[in-house]
Amino acid sequence: MGAKWLGSVLQSKTILKPRMETKPSFKRRLRTACWALTVALVAGSLNAAVAQTTNESNGHVSPWAPTELGQLPPVQPLTGGVWLKGDLHVHSRHSHESTNNPISKIINFSKSVGIDFVAITDHDVHVKGDVAHHTWADPEFKSDTVLLLYGAEWTTTRGHGNVFSAVPYDHQRLFDVRDQRDVVIGSIKKQLGIHLSANHPSGKDHFGYSYDIVNSIEVWNSSVWPKNANAIMIWDDMLSSGRKLTGRGGSDAHHGEPDSPDKASAHTFERKANYVGTPTTWVYATARTKQAVVDALTNGRVCVSSNPFAPRVEFYADVNQDGKPDMMMGDNVKSTGKPVKFKVQLTGKTQADSTYTVNVVKNGDPFNSYKVTGKNPVIEFTDTPALINRTYYRVTVEGPGTPFPQVPQSTQLSGRMVGLSNPIYFNFDPNF
Ligand SMILES: [Zn+2]
Ligand SMILES: [Zn+2]
188 exposure class (CB count in 10 Å sphere: 0-12, 13-18, 19+):
middle
CA–centroid distance, residue 64 to ligand 1 (Å): 35
Ligand 1 center from residue 63 Cα (angstroms): 39
pLDDT of residue 101: 98
CA-to-CA distance for 396 and 413, rounded, in angstroms? 17
What pLDDT is attached to residue 45?
39
CA-wise closest residue to 423 among 361, 343, 335, 346 = 361
Sequence letter at residue 44: G
Q: Which residues crowd ion ligand 2, with CB under 5 Å?
A: 153, 252
The predicted pLDDT at position 431 comes to 87
Q: How far is the CA of 184 from the centre of ligand 2 (A)?
A: 24
Q: Determine the distance separating the centroid of ligand 2 and the alpha carbon of 121, expressed in angstroms.
A: 7
Give the H/E segment covering residue 35. Answer: helix 35-41
Tell me how far apart the alpha carbons of residues 116 and 288 are, in angstroms, rounded to a whole number. 9
Ligand at minimal distance from the CA of 89 is 2
Task: Report pTM.
Answer: 0.88
Are 386 and 427 contacting, i.e. CB atoms less than 8 angstroms apart? yes
Tens of pLDDT, residues 11-50: 443 333 333 333 433 333 333 333 333 333 333 333 334 4
Bond before 279 cis per omega within 30 degrees? yes
Compute the Cα dihedral for 328, 118, 162, 141 and give only its sign: negative
Distance CA 220, CA 250 (A): 6
pLDDT of 289: 98
Ligand 2 geometric centre to CA of 58 (Å)? 50
Counting ligands in written order, the one closest to the CA of 121 is 2
* Ligand 2 center to 201 CA (angstroms): 12
Q: Compute the distance from residue 90 Cα to the ligand 2 centre, in Å.
A: 7
C-alpha 153 to ligand 2 mean position (Å): 6
**What's the one-letter identity of residue 62?**
S
Q: What is the DSSP letter of 131?
A: G
CA distance 166 to 186: 19
Distance (Å) from CA 38 to ligand 1 centroid: 47
Largest CA-CA distance found in the chain, in angstroms, rounded: 77
Tell me the one-letter amino acid at 120. Answer: I
pLDDT the model gives residue 52: 55
| Cα(200) to centroid(ligand 2), Å | 8
C-alpha 130 to ligand 2 mean position (Å): 17
Helices of type H across 251-409: 290-299
| 2 CA to centre of ligand 1 in angstroms | 14
Q: Which residues contact 397 (CB under 8 A, 6 or more apart)?
A: 311, 313, 344, 346, 356, 357, 358, 359, 417, 418, 419, 420
| Cα distances (Å, whole numbers) of residue 241 to 162, 229, 415 | 23, 19, 30
- Whole-number pLDDT of residue 14: 35
> C-alpha angle with apex 417: 394 to 241, nearest 5 degrees?
30
Identify any residues that bridge with 398 across adjacent strands, giving them in sequence order. Answer: 357, 417
Please tell me the distance from the alpha carbon of residue 249 to that of residue 252, in angstroms, as a whole number.
Answer: 9
Strand 117-120 to strand 82-90: parallel, antiparallel, or no bridges (unpaired)?
parallel
Task: Give the pLDDT of residue 56.
Answer: 87
Ligand nearest to the CA of 160: 1
How far does the centroid of ligand 1 lie from the alpha carbon of residue 274, in Å? 15
Spacing, Cα 401 to ligand 1 middle (Å): 26
Q: Select 4-11+79-426's CATH number: 3.20.20.80, 3.40.50.300, 3.30.70.1150, 3.20.20.140.
A: 3.20.20.140
d(CA 392, ligand 1 centre) in Å: 29
The rounded distance, in Å, linking the Cα atoms of 164 and 297 is 9
Residue 366 CA, ligand 2 centroid: distance in Å: 31
CB 328 within 8 A of CB 78: yes
What is the Å distance from ligand 1's center to 326 Cα? 37
Considering every ligand atom shown, identify the ligand nearest to the alpha carbon of residue 205 and give its number: 1
In the predicted model, residues of the chain with pLDDT beneath 50 are 1-51
**Residue 155 CA to ligand 1 centre (angstroms):** 7
Res 40: pLDDT = 33
Spacing, Cα 291 to ligand 2 middle (Å)? 22
Residue 11 has a pLDDT of 40
* Ligand number with the minimum distance to the CA of 250: 2
At residue 241, the 3 state secondary structure works out as coil
Domain ranges for the chain: 4-11+79-426, 32-68
* pLDDT number for residue 204: 84
The C-alpha atoms of residue 327 and residue 68 are separated, in whole angstroms, by 20
Cα distances (Å, whole numbers) of residue 139 to 31, 36, 103, 133, 179: 52, 64, 9, 11, 32
Instruction: Provide the β-strand partners of residue 99.
Output: 255
Closest-lying ligand to the alpha carbon of 161? 1
Looking at residue 203, its pLDDT comes to 83
Q: What is the rounded CA–CA span in Å between residue 148 and residue 118?
A: 5
CA 34 – ligand 2 centroid, Å: 49
